Amino acid sequence: MRNLSRIYQTALRKYPVGTQAVQAGILMGLGDQIAQNFIESNSKPIDYVRTMQFAGIGLLITGPATRTWYGILDKYIGSKGYIVGIKKVACDQLLFAPTFIAVLLITIGVCQGKDVEKLKTKLANEYSDILINNYKLWPMVQLVNFSLVPLNYQALVVQSVALLWNSYISYRTSLDEHNGFR
């Protein structure tokens, strides 16, 4: 276990964006599996393609975007302290979260094979509720994260909490598929 920790520390130091992209991919895929196995109550077989799509979104979008964003916040706002944390949370929740949720919903919709009109409907039906639920969870998580956690571990903290958040997103964005709106 100690060697695994050392390997992770080295990878995180040498390749912070890549390492955090891989961990986001793994955790987003796991979040989808939690949604399919424990939240969705249907007798359909596990949709491994959907799981791989979520993992791909984590690897290619979520991991790189969050680590890059946290680096920008760290560079321009600072890295330590409660006031710095409050400023970062304000930027994160007012700028990044609304934009990122829209990008995430569109990307998931594209993976589901939706055309432009269905993507617009998906955004209209899901965006507001997901953004509101975002504001119920993430400001407090991010306040602790930005105030107390070193930059290289902030994405890990968020992605760990996001395991449950990703399960919610997976479930929420799959609802229209279960109701015949694919």
Q: What is the pLDDT of residue 177?
A: 55
pLDDT digits (tens, 9 = 90+) for 130-142: 999 999 999 999 9
Average pLDDT for the chain: 90
- The whole-model pTM stands at 0.86
pLDDT at 120 over 70: yes
Q: What is the DSSP letter of 81?
A: S
Residue 49 is part of which domain span? 1-179
SS3 assignment for 21-58: HHHHHHHHHHHHHHHHHHHCCCCCCCCHHHHHHHHHHH
pLDDT at 70 over 80: yes
Beta carbons within 10 angstroms of residue 128's beta carbon = 11
Domain count for the chain = 1
